[in-house]
Amino acid sequence: MRANRTLEKLRRDAVAVGPFMTIGSPDLAELTAHAGFDFVFLDWQHGEWTEATLNSALARFLASQSDPLVRVKGHEPGTINRVLDMGAAGVIVPMVETAAQAEVAAAAVRYPPRGQRSGGGNRLALLDEQGAWGYFERANDALALIVMVESEAAASRAGEIAAVPGVDVVLVGPGDLLLDLRSRGGAEADVERLVARLPEAVRAAGKAAGYVCGTPEAARQRIDQGYRLITYQSDVGILQAAWRAARAQAEAW
C-alpha cells in the first residue's frame, strides 16, 4: 500500500510538516502536492472545497509522495468514510471534546474488527498494488486519524483522547482554543499554560501532538515543546505575501 510519510515520521518521533489549503482549487492543490511537504491539509471545514473539487484534488495526489489529509466538517461517520474512499491518507476531525467522540471518529476510519468503516471506493484500487482488497487489509495501519482539541475542556482531556485506540495525533487548534478561553475571561497566557503540558500527556499515551503554526518562530517553539505534527503556512498566506512582494517590486520600477 502507498506509504504514509506523515505516520512513518511520527512513529519514530520525527517532525512532519505541511501547509493547509482553503482555496478550493484542485490545480493549486496539485502544485502544492509536488512541493515536497510531508502532508497537505485540505480544509473542508472552513475552506471553499466542495465534494467535487475535493475529489478532484485528491486524485492529483496519486502522482505525489505528499499525504493528503482532509479536515472534515464534523464527526459524522459517513462523511469521514467518504473522504477516505476518495483517497485521503487521513482525516482531521475538528472540535473533539471527549474520548467518546474520538471513539466515534476512530470507528469510522478503521475497518472491522478495529472499527466500522464500510468497504468501497473506486480510487482505493489505485492505492495498493494488490487492488482494493489489498487496501482493505492494510489501510487500518496506513491511515492517519488526527483529532483536534479546540477548547479548554478538550485540551485538559488530551491524554484521555490520545489514549483512544485508532487515534494517531492530537492537534491543537489555537484559534478556537483562544476564542473559548476569551469567552470566559481568559487570555493568551492561559493558552500557553494548557499547550505547554499537552505534548507530555499525549506522548504518555503513545501518540503524537500537533500544532497549527503561523510563523517559523511559532513552529520552532512548538517543536521544542514536543509537538511533532506541524501545520505551517497556508495557500492564502503564501499567495498574499507573494503578490505583495511582486507589487512592491513593480512600484519600485
Catalytic site positions: 46
Which alpha helices (H) appear in the chain, and where do they start and end? 5-11, 26-33, 51-60, 77-85, 99-109, 131-142, 152-156, 158-162, 174-182, 188-204, 216-225, 235-252
Cα–Cα nearest to 199, from 170, 219, 174, 179: 170
CA–CA separation, 74 and 251 (whole Å):
45
Cα–Cα nearest to 71, from 237, 239, 234: 234
Cα–Cα nearest to 155, from 186, 125, 133, 111: 186
